[in-house]
Amino acid sequence: MGYIGHHGVATLRRYKYSGVDHSLVAKYILQPFWSRFVNVFPLWFPPERTLVLVFLFQITLTGFMFLLTSAFLGFLYSPHLDTAPPRWVHLAHGLLLFLYQTFDAVDGKQARRTNSSSPLGELFDHGNLHLKLKLVDSVLKKPFESLAFGSTAMCGKATFWFWVISAVPFYFATWEHFFTNTLILPIVNGPTEGLMLIYLCHFFTFFTGAEWWAQDFQKSIPLLGWVPLIPEIPVYNIVLCLMIAFAVIPTIGSNIHNVYKVVEARKGSMVLALAMLFPFGLLLAGVLVWSYLSPSDIMRNQPHLLIIGTGFAFGFLVGRMILAHLCDEPKGLKTGMCMSLAYFPFAIANALTSRLDDGNPLVDEQLVLLMYCLFTVALYMHFATSVIHEITNALGIHCFRWRALMILAPNGGTDRDRRKYDTLWKYKLRRDDDEDGQHEKEDIVDPPADCRPYRLTFLDLIAWIRYNTAGAEKEAGTAASCTSEFNCSYRCLRRGMCNKCCKKHGFVRGQCDKNAECYCCTT
């Protein structure tokens, strides 16, 4: 089924992101660091792709892989999140989370450096969520962040509540963005101070051990036991209560206030606005009822499957809301969002059957939980791939495609070049259709008669990258592939590049008698 209508396609073409970050830590500490770190990626390095070994990943998705690795370490050494892993695991958790935050912030800067941001970027950035507060990346990030912290703090079943307190502000922030059209991050917010606090906790645990979080609060600090009225509960429960009181409640209060002002100014209905929170409330209620009735206590014994499955369902809800904002859909409750909740009646009914048969459910609950996880993963992936396909078709862009470096070598190329794969001339250079299917004659580049086009292999591409990033060696180099009569980069397959732009992007270009209009200067 389609997720974007004709009005949505027209709205996507007018897309312009708007956001405000009031965080002082980000402004004075992290932003200067991120501005320097982004220079690690060259200008020809697209924000949605990064080179990892021999695979091409998005910068955002690479950050997600850091979190996935962190959660896997937690599962490997603490399957039920109630045993202490080796201390080096806590150090790894902290470093991986720090790298995730850095990559999550840098890809937007890289997009602005290369002038390649798009609505698809915002959708990926929120959701990679699952698969930056932005669709494939942030939704899955929340459960994996929580699972890593649960491993560090030995939270056990309380890990689910740490996921809840991270998901609630995220959902409310997305809901606020839906109405205000501006993503507003307060002075203290989750993507900055929240993540910083978590990876500092990981580093702290590296020195103290995970047992520190599971001990009674009275014993956690010397002489604290002498203070009257100190409750005898684990330290992680105290942390949970403090986060709810001083972070979650003030944040959602601010979100509701901002939405109320917008709705009042537009003379809309606040009831309809609040109705958009209903699917998320049903999601939490469904999980809690299922866990309460569960004969095998799934929240304690299978926390990873429960949190990951619920995280994907949460990602579907957030993804639908983000898409509704990008496409300017009518403000109100979207019944299609409830598709991610369709599994709960079956799961709850199966748990109830255990009360009729001495605690034995009709279907093994571990299998039911696994099917729940697979259902939400399949639902979310169908949504994500369908939306990506529709957006790329609507905007005429590509996703996860590394544009091949094309070279026209004089006299058919060197002996090495002749062994490369031939690229059909009509594929990129002779015929490049515009949006209306008409050939743009001015974009056609006619090569000399003795030149042939070649598509470089992946190894050739790596060699070309090394050559163009070799500093003085590049200036003195005379590689045939970089001194040909026409040399294209991933930024310019259709048109020639002026000398100014070649110098800016670090590309070597020979003299060509048939220079075309410079693509970089006209876009």
Q: Is the pLDDT of residue 485 over 80?
A: no
Q: Is the pLDDT of residue 258 over 50?
A: yes
pLDDT at residue 204 in the model: 95
Would you give the distance in Å from CA 304 to the centre of its chain?
20
Is 126 annotated in the active site?
A: yes
pLDDT at residue 1 in the model: 56
Report, in angstroms and rounded to the nearest whole number, the Rg of the chain calculated over CA atoms: 27
Q: Is the pLDDT of residue 272 over 70?
A: yes
Tell me if residue 237 falls in helix, strand or coil: helix
Q: Name the more confident of 256 and 131.
A: 256
Mean pLDDT throughout 347-371? 91
Q: Distance between CA atoms of 376 and 318, rounded to whole angstroms?
A: 13
Q: Is the pLDDT of residue 314 over 90?
A: yes
pLDDT at residue 201 in the model: 94
Q: What is the pLDDT of residues 277-306, one digit of tens each?
A: 999 999 999 999 999 999 999 999 999 999
In sequence order, the 6+-apart residues with CB closer than 8 A to the CB of 72 are: none
In sequence order, the 6+-apart residues with CB closer than 8 A to the CB of 344 are: 286, 287, 289, 290
In sequence order, the 6+-apart residues with CB closer than 8 A to the CB of 500 are: 521
Closest CA to 151 of 236, 66, 249: 236
Q: Distance between CA atoms of 131 and 135, rounded to whole angstroms?
A: 7
Contact 43, 504 (CB under 8 A): yes
Q: Is the pLDDT of residue 516 over 60?
A: no
Residue 502: count other Cβ atoms within 10 Å of its Cβ. Answer: 18
Place of tokens 């890593």: 148
Q: Name the more confident of 13 and 244.
A: 244
Q: Distance between CA atoms of 320 and 343, rounded to whole angstroms?
A: 18
pLDDT at residue 35 in the model: 83
Place of tokens 């790329």: 392
Q: Name the more confident of 320 and 411.
A: 320
Residues 214-243, buried b or exposed e (16+ Cβ, 10 A)? beebbebeeeeeeeeebeeebbbbbbbeeb
Q: Is the pLDDT of residue 311 over 90?
A: yes
pLDDT at residue 460 in the model: 46
DSSP H helices in 215-302: 217-220, 235-243, 249-265, 270-275, 278-293, 298-301
Token pair, residue 233, equals: 């509960």
Tell me if residue 523 falls in helix, strand or coil: coil
Q: What is the pLDDT of residues 32-84, one digit of tens each?
A: 888 888 777 655 554 443 333 323 345 667 777 888 899 899 999 999 998 99
Contact 97, 70 (CB under 8 A): yes
Q: Is the pLDDT of residue 468 over 50?
A: no
| Kind plus residue range of the DSSP H or E element containing 365 | helix 365-395
Q: What is the pLDDT of residues 14-40, one digit of tens each?
A: 766 677 778 888 888 988 888 888 777
What percentage of the chain exceeds 90 in pLDDT? Answer: 33
Q: What is the pLDDT of residues 102-152, one digit of tens each?
A: 887 787 676 666 555 544 544 444 433 333 334 444 566 788 889 999 999
Q: Is the pLDDT of residue 341 over 80?
A: yes
Catalytic residue chosen out of the listed positions 22, 90, 93, 126: 126
pLDDT at residue 111 in the model: 63
